[in-house]
Structure 1
Amino acid sequence: MNEKQKKSISKFLSLILRHQPEVIGVTLDENGWTDVDELIAKMNASGHRLSFDELEEVVDTDDKQRYAFSPDGNKIRASQGHSVDISLGLDPTAPPEYLYHGTVSKFLDSIRKEGLQRMSRQHLHLSRDKDTAVTVGSRRGNPVILNISSGQMHRDGFLFYISDNGVWLTDHVPAKYINF
């Protein structure tokens, strides 16, 4: 499978496992898991040809580790980024003193007024390192990296979680915790 094919499958998996499982008729349980065999069968029935070995290759080689198999390998889910109502079952965790968020300049006025919002997703995504934030911000143009005073937020009572693939999650970052 070439890189273009893997990227196409990964994008479709993201749609199904994060946002619209109904597109192919799969169901996500309360923790976002769905049956691997059912996912493959329904992807194939919808014209998105996929074998178990190809699915495994996409999951194993994804640069952001967006997807995870259950310990027994029978189920799969997205590691974070859901707009559908699920619970990843993550425990609140104390974050490092600073986290980072990559964005672009056209959003800065809104962020200065309202802070960072989760928008249609269940959580707002933050990065532990600037390089990851640069990559995220670059998807929409020239990146602007925001330094988040996550340690102070935590001390002030805000909850943080860390996903299986190392993305820091929270519900909102008020502007007063953002160093522009």
Structure 2
Amino acid sequence: MSADFDLVKLSKALSWLLRHNAEKQGFKFLPGGFLLVEDVLKHQKFKGFSVANVESVVGSCQKQRFTLKTDETDGRLLIRANQGHSIKSVEVEMEVITNPAEFPTVIHGTYYRVWDAIRQKGLSRMNRQHIHCAAGQPGYKGVISGMRNTCQLFIYIDMEAAIRDGIQFLRSSNNVILSPGDENGFIPPQYFEKVVDVKKNEIIFP
């Protein structure tokens, strides 16, 4: 098994634990959504991995999915996922966006197979805490995360109108735009500026 493959496996395992399954696996989050790296590495899913491996995954992740920091009280290493949590108790500090003019382009990436449902009901946060968006076109300067690079449709969000109507938006530490949606967990279609078919470079909505 190659080192590269091992690091991909480790990255996926960290996402699995930190975003979705830590509490089910008996972990208790520290403030900010952090866990001790030494405790994470004791879990059977991380057998064979080291602190150096974790540092390599975090440092090489272009989308900056994770944050490492040293505990100020005892010097031990902590790790968290920056966003994408389905665990309701996790509270990661984020910046509340009050001036949408600072983010003129906000895009949610998705796929053909779910477009009909999205067109009818809007974007859903589903089992996660937030709906994820990129703060601009993927690949542009400063846009490192917020959607998968396999997305087939780009939904451009009218964040100004949504905020005006009471929908909250936040910015994570790795510059992903996040929203809990309305009271039902949706960003309704009325806040879609346009939807672009990426492959065809065609506007398919409105």
Number of positions where the alignment pairs a residue of Structure 1 with one of Structure 2: 175
Do the aligned residues in 2 keep the contact of 1:98 with 1:151 (CA within 8 Å)?
no
> What does residue 150 of structure 1 align with?
159
Task: Give, in angstroms, the shift of residue 93 of structure 1.
Answer: 1.4
Do the aligned residues in 2 keep the contact of 1:162 with 1:168 (CA within 8 Å)?
yes
TM-score, with structure 2 as normaliser: 0.76
Question: Which one of 81, 97, 101 corresponds to residue 78 of structure 1?
Answer: 81
> What does residue 203 of structure 2 align with?
none
Structure 2 matches for 1:92-111, cutoff 5 A?
92-94=96-98, 95=100, 96-111=103-118
Do the aligned residues in 1 keep the contact of 2:10 with 2:46 (CA within 8 Å)?
no
Do the aligned residues in 2 keep the contact of 1:161 with 1:170 (CA within 8 Å)?
yes
> What does residue 6 of structure 1 align with?
7
The Cα offsets for residues 133-164 of structure 1, whole Å up to 9 and x where unpaired, read as: 8962616xxx1111111122123322111111
Residues 145 and 137 of structure 1, relative CA distance in 2, 3 Å threshold: farther
Q: How far, CA to CA, are the matches of 2:134 and 2:146 in structure 1?
A: 10
Gaps of 5+ in 2: 140-144, 182-186, 196-206
SS at match of 1:122: coil
Q: How far, CA to CA, are the matches of 1:46 and 1:114 in structure 2?
A: 38
TM-score, with structure 1 as normaliser: 0.86
> What does residue 121 of structure 2 align with?
114
- Structure with more of its chain in helix, by fraction: 1
Do the aligned residues in 2 keep the contact of 1:98 with 1:147 (CA within 8 Å)?
yes
Deviates more, 1:81-90 or 1:23-32: 23-32
The Cα offsets for residues 67-126 of structure 1, whole Å up to 9 and x where unpaired, read as: 101354621100000000211122311341330011111211111111101011100000
Deviates more, 1:10-19 or 1:125-134: 125-134
- Residue 188 of structure 2 is aligned to residue 174 of structure 1: yes
| Residue type of the alignment partner of 1:158 | I
Task: Give, in angstroms, the shift of residue 46 of structure 1.
Answer: 4.6
The Cα offsets for residues 40-77 of structure 1, whole Å up to 9 and x where unpaired, read as: 2x23x456211111110011101211110135462110
- Residue 95 of structure 2 is aligned to residue 88 of structure 1: no
Tell which structure's C-alpha radius of gyration is larger: 2
Gaps of 5+ in 1: none
| Residue type of the alignment partner of 2:190 | K
Q: How far, CA to CA, are the matches of 2:93 and 2:118 in structure 1?
A: 29
SS at match of 1:130: coil
> What does residue 26 of structure 1 align with?
27
Report the identity percentage.
30
Q: How far, CA to CA, are the matches of 1:18 and 1:47 in structure 2?
A: 15
Does 1 or 2 have the higher relative contact order (CA < 8 Å, sep 6+)? 1
